[in-house]
């Protein structure tokens, strides 16, 4: 179907007001949940084909996350969508004031390839829960998952309520020419700017879920074995292709070698001595990203890993020792299984290195130094902070998820998704029996009275 026709159909469907009914929205979400349960195994198969994702990871970080999100919506939708009584202003006495959550209308979602299932569906769930229609364009770089998403959405929604459009950049550009009521984008900061520019032509509000270089500070006050174990999990899940993965480690010089030793030990424990044979290790999404990452690797001292196999799109979990933070991998977001370990001597030096980059999506800090933790929490802006772990902020869908500055605008997950896709409309219902003369013209002689009255209320 032509995009324009699909768009018109969505607009016409939204104008029937069917999506305003909470029962309608819940039915739609239940249908999606049922389809997902039927297609669960297909989800794992598609993710295996696109990224060689281990089923364990696909369950934990994709399928389970989506199912949980729908369940949370079903559980709380009545309460979230209920008009909220707001204290009235005495100046309007008598009045009853409300906030009514109204859907924006027709929403467009453009999603990436790294968690191609949940990063496509989670925003869709929020938009449907809030009463919008949805057009989703998944990433062309994860084609098996994209095809399955189309099948799942078609089986769960009438096409005029939610539909999937397949294609790459050109398709996205054509969709962006149309006037949407909300655009939700997940992907790189570079494309995020293109999305924001296109949205501005129609004054369409957007949420931009972008990336950045997320630091991981290790000051040596936490047990290094546990520290390394958690960093290895957060960094190498999905072969490092995680937007909130620790991008680089900043370790106090005194503990640099000891941390490297522990990281190597944990990598061997997790993926064995030949991670290419490991059933727990995914692959790089395509040859372009493979080339980019292998080039960056050449530039630093490889302390562990470094093996590659282009045919298999395999890059071993790799530790780069880069004490001066000068390598290519310390310029842009890595988004792959390379972990530069950078050393610092003083807190100031660590902060200067982190401060060189745009505001990241995440900030990790392994430390027992409460003063430094609190001081960085207040002074260092980022999408979200985790103390003594990595990536786990994602698991709590009661927390907002999103970036700030170049790592994004807006947030979602759970109630925050509902809020993102709702316009909170204030409604003031005035009573008819009290109508103080003081507000009306002619004003002369009433001014003193008005001042007294306002200072009194
Ligand atoms: P990408 O920006 O290349 O692609 C994402 C989507 O944008 C795809 O659907 C793609 O078809 C579309 N697209 C590509 N070119 C376009 C164009 N010119 N106009 C309009 N749309 C276009 O991003 P990616 O490589 O898929 O993802 C990597 C980046 O995304 C990393 O920076 C990562 O940190 C970030 N990311 C962020 C999150 C988050 O939740 N904040 C999640 C995943 C990835």
Q: How far is the CA of 186 from the centre of ligand 1 (A)?
A: 6
pLDDT reading at 179 higher than 80: yes
pLDDT reading at 428 higher than 90: yes
Q: What is the mean pLDDT of the chain?
A: 97
Is 429 among the domain residues?
no
Is 132 among the domain residues?
yes
Is 450 among the domain residues?
no
216 noted as active-site residue = no
Residue 298 has what pLDDT?
87
Residue span of the structural domain in which 152 resides: 3-210+405-424
Residue 210 has what pLDDT?
98
What is the pLDDT averaged over residues 242-254? 98
Is 71 among the domain residues?
yes
Assign 437 a pLDDT band (cuts: 50, 70, 90).
confident
Q: Looking at the 3D structure of the chain, how many domains does it have?
A: 2
Q: What distance in Å separates the CA atoms of residue 107 and residue 74, rounded to the nearest whole number?
A: 20
29-62: pLDDT as tens digits: 999 999 999 999 999 999 999 999 999 999 999 9
Q: Are strands 162-164 and 314-315 parallel, antiparallel or unpaired?
A: unpaired
- 215 φ, ψ to 5°? -80, 160
Residue 38 has what pLDDT?
98
Q: 313-334: string of b/e by CB count within 10 Å (b at 16+)?
A: bbbbbbbbbbeebebbbbeebb
- CATH number of the domain where residue 57 is located: 3.40.605.10
Q: What distance in Å separates the CA atoms of residue 14 and residue 284, rounded to the nearest whole number?
A: 40
SS3 216: strand
231 in the same domain as 204: no
pLDDT reading at 1 higher than 80: no
63-75: pLDDT as tens digits: 999 999 999 999 9
Atom of ligand 1 lying closest to residue 244 CA: 34
154 in the same domain as 117: yes
CA dihedral 37, 40, 46, 47 (to 10 degrees): 110
Q: What distance in Å separates the CA atoms of residue 176 and residue 221, rounded to the nearest whole number?
A: 49
240 in the same domain as 161: no
261 noted as active-site residue = no
Residue 436 has what pLDDT?
84
Alpha helices per DSSP H over 303-413: 347-355, 370-379
348 in the same domain as 296: yes
Is 303 among the domain residues?
yes
CA contacts within 13 A on the Cβ side of 25: 30
Is 457 among the domain residues?
no
pLDDT reading at 457 higher than 80: no
Q: Which residue's alpha carbon is at the smallest distance from atom 26 of ligand 1?
A: 112
Q: How far is the CA of 109 from the centre of ligand 1 (A)?
A: 11
Structure tokens at 288: 């372009």
190-229: pLDDT as tens digits: 999 999 999 999 999 999 999 999 999 999 999 999 999 9
Which pTM value belongs to this model? 0.97
Which candidate in 57, 69, 243, 333 is catalytic? 243
What is the pLDDT averaged over residues 362-383? 98
pLDDT reading at 5 higher than 90: yes
Q: What distance in Å separates the CA atoms of residue 358 and residue 184, rounded to the nearest whole number?
A: 21
CB-based contacts of 156: which residues, under 8 Å, 6+ apart? 28, 31, 32, 34, 35, 162
Q: How far is the CA of 13 from the centre of ligand 1 (A)?
A: 29
Atom of ligand 1 lying closest to residue 209 CA: 41
Residue 450 has what pLDDT?
87
What residues line ligand 1, using a CB cutoff of 6 Å? 110-114, 119, 137, 139-140, 168-169, 172-173, 186-188, 191, 194, 209-211, 243, 333, 335, 361, 403, 408
Asked if 209 contacts 244 with a C-beta cutoff of 8 angstroms, the reply is: no
Beta bridge partner(s), residue 75: none
> DSSP string spanning 22-89?
HHHHHHHHHHHHHHHHHHHHHHHHHHHHHH---HHHHIIIIIHHHHHHHHHHHHHHHHHHSPEEEPPP
Is 448 among the domain residues?
no
Q: 130-164: string of b/e by CB count within 10 Å (b at 16+)?
A: bbbbbbbbbbebbbbbbbbbbebbeebbeebbbbb
Q: Return the ∠ at Cα 319 (arms to 315 and 323), rounded to 5°.
A: 140
Q: How far is the CA of 188 from the centre of ligand 1 (A)?
A: 4
Q: What percent of the chain has pLDDT over 90?
A: 92
Is 441 among the domain residues?
no
Residue 151 has what pLDDT?
98
411 in the same domain as 279: no
Q: 11-22: string of b/e by CB count within 10 Å (b at 16+)?
A: bebbeeebbeee
Atom of ligand 1 lying closest to residue 333 CA: 32
72 in the same domain as 192: yes
176 in the same domain as 33: yes
219 in the same domain as 200: no
DSSP conformation class of 401: B
H or E element that contains 96: strand 95-103
Atom of ligand 1 lying closest to residue 167 CA: 11
C-alpha closest to that of 363 among 379, 341, 349, 344? 379
Order of strands across the sheet that contains 338-344: 301-304, 318-321, 338-344, 248-252, 215-218, 363-366, 385-387
258-270: pLDDT as tens digits: 999 999 999 999 9
131 in the same domain as 59: yes
Which candidate in 39, 209, 333, 351 is catalytic? 209
Q: What distance in Å separates the CA atoms of residue 234 and residue 246, rounded to the nearest whole number?
A: 7
- CATH number of the domain where residue 258 is located: 3.40.309.10
Assign 324 a pLDDT band (cuts: 50, 70, 90).
confident
Best mutation site among 109, 123, 191 for ligand 1 pocket (most ligand atoms within 8 Å of CB): 191
Domain end, chosen from 374, 394, 414, is at 394
pLDDT reading at 26 higher than 80: yes
Residue 307 has what pLDDT?
97
225 in the same domain as 93: no
81-91: pLDDT as tens digits: 999 999 999 88
353 in the same domain as 274: yes
Q: How far is CA 318 from CA 173, 210, 403, in A?
A: 36, 24, 27
**CA R_g for the chain:** 25
379 in the same domain as 256: yes
CA dihedral 338, 342, 348, 351 (to 10 degrees): 0
112-131: pLDDT as tens digits: 999 999 999 999 999 999 99
Tell me whether residue 439 is exposed, middle or buried, using C-beta atoms within 10 angstroms of its C-beta: 0 to 12, 13 to 18, 19 or more.
exposed
Asked if 390 contacts 233 with a C-beta cutoff of 8 angstroms, the reply is: yes
Residue 327 has what pLDDT?
87
């Amino acid at each position: 179907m032509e995009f324009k026709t699909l768009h018109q159909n969505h607009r016409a469907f939204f104008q029937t007001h069917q999506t305003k009914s909470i029962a309608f929205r819940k039915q739609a979400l239940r249908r999606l949940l049922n389809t997902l349960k039927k297609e669960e195994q297909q989800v794992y198969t598609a993710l295996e084909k696109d990224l060689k994702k281990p089923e364990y990871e696909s369950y934990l970080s994709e399928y389970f996350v989506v199912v949980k999100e729908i369940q949370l919506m079903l559980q709380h939708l009545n309460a979230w969508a209920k008009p909220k009584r707001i204290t009235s202003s005495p100046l309007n006495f008598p009045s009853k004031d409300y906030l009514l959550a109204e859907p924006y209308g027709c929403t467009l979602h453009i999603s990436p390839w790294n968690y191609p299932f949940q990063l496509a569906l989670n925003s869709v769930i929020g938009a449907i829960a809030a009463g919008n229609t949805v057009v989703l364009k998944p990433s062309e770089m994860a084609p098996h998952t994209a095809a399955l998403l189309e099948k799942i959405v078609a089986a769960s929604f009438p096409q005029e309520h939610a539909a999937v459009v397949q294609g790459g950049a050109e398709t996205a550009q054509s969709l962006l020419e149309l006037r949407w009521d909300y655009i939700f984008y997940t992907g790189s900061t570079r494309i995020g700017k293109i999305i924001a520019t296109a949205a501005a032509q129609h004054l369409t509000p957007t949420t931009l879920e972008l990336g950045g270089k997320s630091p991981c500070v290790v000051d040596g006050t936490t047990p290094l074995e546990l520290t390394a174990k958690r960093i290895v999990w957060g960094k190498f899940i999905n072969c490092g292709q995680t937007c909130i993965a620790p991008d680089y480690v900043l370790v106090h010089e005194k503990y640099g070698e000891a941390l490297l030793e522990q990281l190597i030990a944990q990598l061997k424990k997790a993926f064995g001595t030949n991670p290419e044979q490991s059933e727990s290790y995914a692959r790089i999404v395509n040859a372009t990203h493979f080339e980019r990452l292998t080039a960056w690797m050449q530039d630093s001292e490889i302390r562990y890993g470094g093996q590659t196999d282009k045919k298999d799109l395999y890059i071993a979990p790799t530790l780069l020792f880069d004490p001066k933070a000068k390598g290519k991998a310390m310029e842009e977001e890595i988004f792959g299984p390379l972990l530069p370990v950078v050393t610092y001597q003083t807190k100031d030096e660590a902060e200067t290195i982190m401060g060189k980059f745009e505001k990241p999506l995440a900030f990790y800090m392994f430390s027992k130094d409460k003063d430094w933790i609190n001081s960085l929490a207040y002074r260092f802006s980022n999408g979200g902070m985790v103390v003594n772990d990595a990536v786990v902020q994602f698991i709590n869908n009661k927390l907002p998820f999103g970036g700030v500055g170049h790592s994004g605008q807006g947030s979602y997950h759970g109630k925050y998704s509902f809020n993102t896709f709702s316009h909170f409309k204030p409604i003031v219902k005035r009573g008819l029996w009290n109508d103080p003369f003081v507000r009306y013209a002619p004003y002369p002689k009433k001014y003193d009275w008005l001042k007294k009255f306002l200072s009194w209320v």
